[in-house]
Amino acid sequence: MNFINKINNYLIQRYPTIWNTRIVWMLAISLLAHILFYFIGFVSHSNPTSLQNSRVIDDYYNSGLIMVHIIISMLLLVGWVVYMFKNNGFKNFYPTSNVKLFGQFVCYLVIVFASISFYFSYMFGFRTYVNVAYPNNELAKNVDIINKAYPFLSIGYQDYSLDKKAYPKPFYDLYCETGSDLIDRSKKYFETNGNEYQFYSLYKVAITERDDSGNFKYPAAEYKNGTDLAYKEVVKDTCMYYFKKEVVDLSADIKTTNLSYYNFSRVFYKLDFDEVDFYDRYNYSYTSYPEETAYYGTNPNAAKNYEFSKQLSGILDRKNPEEIKKILNDFLEVSKQYQIRTNLNADEWFKLIYQPDNFEVKHFILENENAYSYPIDSVAATIDTLTTDVASAATAAHEQTVVETVEAAAVAVAQVAGSNDKMYNYYQQRLTRNYYEVRNLSDFLRSVELVKNVDFVSRNIHVYIWIAFFLSTLIFSFRVTNLRSVIFTGITTGVLSLVIGLMVLVYSMGLGGSEEYFAAYLVLIIATIIILIPFLFMTSASKLFTSIFMNITINGFVLYVLLILGIISMHQNDACRAQPGYYDSYPSRTCTTILEYLDMNTSYLLLAVGLIFMFIYTAVIKKWRAVPE
Which residues contribute to the site for other proteins (CB under 8 A)?
8-9, 12-16, 19-20, 83, 85-87, 89, 93-96, 622-623, 625-629
**DSSP per-residue letters across 258-326:** S-BGGG----S----TTSS-HHHHHTHHHH---TTHHHH---GGGG--HHHHHHHHHHHHHT-HHHHHH
Residue 337 and residue 37: Cα distance in Å, rounded?
26
User: Cβ of residue 9: shortest distance to other proteins, in angstroms?
Assistant: 8
Which residues have a Cβ under 8 Å from the Cβ of 593 and sit 6 or more positions away?
568, 569, 572, 573, 576
Evaluate whether 602 touches 595 at the Cβ level (below 8 Å).
Answer: yes
What is the distance between the alpha carbons of residues 71 and 61, in angstroms, rounded to a whole number? 14
Of the pair 89, 194, the CB lying nearest other proteins is at 89
* Of 89 and 300, CB closest to other proteins: 89
What's the closest the beta carbon of residue 474 comes to other proteins, in angstroms?
Answer: 20
Selection from 337, 455, 442 nearest residue 53 by Cα? 442
CB of 519 to other proteins, least distance (A): 39
Kind and range of the H or E element at 435?
strand 431-435
Task: Give the chain's count of helices (H) and strands (E).
Answer: 27, 7
Give the nearest distance from C-beta 1 to other proteins in angstroms: 13
- Angle ∠(196,197,199) on CA atoms, nearest 5: 160
Entry field: residues in the chain: 629
- The DSSP element (H or E) to which 351 belongs, if any, is helix 346-353
At residue 175, φ and ψ (nearest 5 deg) are -95, 130
What is the nearest approach in angstroms of other proteins to the Cβ of residue 8?
7
Minimum CB separation of residue 619 from other proteins in Å reads 9
Q: Which is nearer to other proteins, 226 or 628 (CB)?
A: 628
**Residue type at 127 in one-letter notation:** R
* C-alpha–C-alpha distance, residues 198 and 187, integer Å: 8
Beta carbon nearer to other proteins, 83 or 372? 83
Whether cis (ω within 30° of 0) applies to the bond prior to 168 is: yes
- Residue 50 is given by DSSP the state G
Residue among 10 and 289 whose Cβ is closer to other proteins: 10
Nearer to other proteins, 595 or 627 (CB): 627
42/108 with CB nearer other proteins:
108
Minimum CB separation of residue 621 from other proteins in Å reads 9
- In whole angstroms, how close is the CB of 610 to other proteins at the nearest point? 23
At closest approach, how far in Å is the CB of 91 from other proteins?
9
Q: Which is nearer to other proteins, 108 or 216 (CB)?
A: 108
Helix axis angle, 515-536 to 543-578, nearest 10°: 150
Q: How near is the Cβ of 20 to other proteins at its closest, in Å?
A: 7
When the beta carbons of 6 and 422 are compared against other proteins, the nearer one is: 6
Comparison of 212 and 629: residue with beta carbon closer to other proteins:
629
**SS3 helix, strand, coil % of the chain, rounded to 5?**
65, 10, 25
Terminal CA-to-CA distance of the chain, rounded, Å?
44
Q: In the complex with other proteins, which residue's Cβ is closer, 210 or 622? A: 622
Smallest CA-to-CA distance from 36 within 130, 118, 131 is with 118
For residue 622, the minimal CB distance to other proteins (Å) is 4
CB 342 within 8 A of CB 352: no
By beta-carbon proximity to other proteins, the closer residue of 83 and 507 is 83
DSSP 206-248: EE--B-TTSPBPPPHHHHHHTPPEEEEEEETTEEEEEEEEEE-
**Nearest approach, Cβ of 291 to other proteins (angstroms)?**
59
3-state per-residue secondary structure call for 517-556: HHHHHHHHHHHHHHHHHHHHCCCCCCHHHHHHHHHHHHHH
